[in-house]
Structure 1
């Protein structure tokens, strides 16, 4: 899902994993989180990294 004009990026509903992508060079508004296709093996020099957020955000 893409963020528009200062919006928050949200992972695609029902998809895990996802990656950050850009639709149009030169515009931060075109950043989006898109599902990852894991059906193909990784290429030379590619890695998969998993992470999780823990904790509580304070104002």
Structure 2
């Protein structure tokens, strides 16, 4: 979303072409990415980090409690 170039890989006469985004479209997509997409990705990373820590600590506790 944040790149200035759009590479088309669909089948058709425009396959393989690279088009530059107009400035208005680039600014709009950059705003959407910073307000909507980046916070969601940040939350997903935090959730998976917490799940990983909990799973690892659960595995370690299970290993040491069996001895």
Fold equivalence (TM over 0.5): no
Shorter-chain TM-score tier: under 0.3
- The structure where helix makes up a greater share of residues is 2
- TM-score if structure 2 supplies the norm length? 0.25
- TM-score if structure 1 supplies the norm length? 0.27
- The structure where strand makes up a greater share of residues is 1
Larger radius of gyration: 2
Structure showing greater relative contact order (alpha-carbon pairs closer than 8 Å, 6 or more residues apart): 1
